[in-house]
Amino acid sequence: MNEVIYEAIEAIRTMIVKNKQYLTDLDSPIGDSDHGINMARGFDAVMLKLENSNDPDIASVLKKIGLALISSVGGASGPLYGTAFLRAAVPAQGKTDFNAVLVKDMLSAAIQGIKDRGKASQGEKTMIDALEPAYEAFSSGCDNGGTLLECFELASKAALEGVEFTKKIIATKGRASYLGNRSIGHQDPGATSSYLMLKALTDFCSKKEGEANDGRNCNCIAQQESC
C-alpha cells in the first residue's frame, strides 16, 4: 500500500466529515440538502475499500477511490468526483511518488473529467468555479519552479476565491438552476467541497514537509521537481 496516498485521502475524509453539516447546510437553500451527508458517506466507503488493499502504484489506488465514490455518494457529486479520480489515475499510471508536475497533470485530467461528465464550464456556479482557477494557480506555480506545497497553497487560495465568486452568480447547472435568480447570494456546495479537498491536501503537504524538515523520514512529498 502506498502510505502517502492513504494518508492524503484520510486527510480529505477528515476534512469532509468535519464539514459534513456545513456542506449540507449550504446545499439546503439551493439544493437537496444532502451534499455533506453524501460526501462523508462516499469517503467512508473509500476508506473501507482501501483498508486492506496493497496497491503498488498511485493509479490503482485512485481507480479504487473513484469507483467507491461512484457507488456510494448518491448525488451528482458521485459520478463527478468519481470520474475525476478515475481520470487522475491516467497520468499516475505506474507512478509511486508525488511531485508538482505529476499532481498538475492529475489535476488537469481530473478537472477535464468533471467537465466532460457534467458538461459545465466556469461561471455556472459549480465545482468548476473553484477547480479551474485552482488548476491555473497550481500550474503557474509549477511552471515557476514551485514546490508541491507552494503549488497547493496557490491552488487553495484560488479555489477559495472561486467559492466566493459562486455567491455572486446564477446557477445554470444542477438542482440549483431550478431556482434561477434566487440562487444568487448562495455559495455553491460543490465548489466548497472542491476547495475543502484542496485545502486538506495543502495542509497534509505542509505537515509532511514539516516532518521532513524535522529530519524525520519522508521520501515522498517534499521533493521538488520543476516543470
* 65-73, 103-111, 179-187, 195-203 -> range binding other proteins (CB under 8 A): 65-73
Sole residue written with cell 457507488:
71
CB neighbour list of residue 86: distance below 8 Å, 6 or more residues apart: 62, 63, 66, 67, 113
- Which of 8, 9, 78, 92 is close enough to bind other proteins by CB under 8 A? 78
What is the Cα 109 distance to its own chain's centre?
Answer: 12
Asked if 76 is part of the footprint of other proteins (rule: CB under 8 A), the reply reads yes
Interaction of residue 26 with other proteins, rule CB under 8 A: no
Q: Is 32 in the site for other proteins (CB under 8 A)?
A: yes
Contact letters for other proteins, residues 85-124 (x by CB under 8 A): --------------------------------xx------
For position 71 contacting other proteins by CB under 8 A, the verdict is: yes
How many other CB atoms are there within 10 angstroms of residue 60's CB atom?
Answer: 18
Nearest in space to 98 (alpha carbons), one of 212, 196, 205: 205
Q: How many other C-beta atoms lie within 10 A of the C-beta of residue 11?
A: 20
Q: How far is the CB of 23 from other proteins (least distance, A)?
A: 15
Among 12, 59, 61, 80, binds other proteins (CB under 8 A): 80
Q: What interhelical angle do 20-30 and 35-50 show, nearest 10?
A: 140
Contacting positions for other proteins (CB under 8 A): 32, 34, 38, 67, 70-76, 78-80, 82-83, 117-118, 174-175
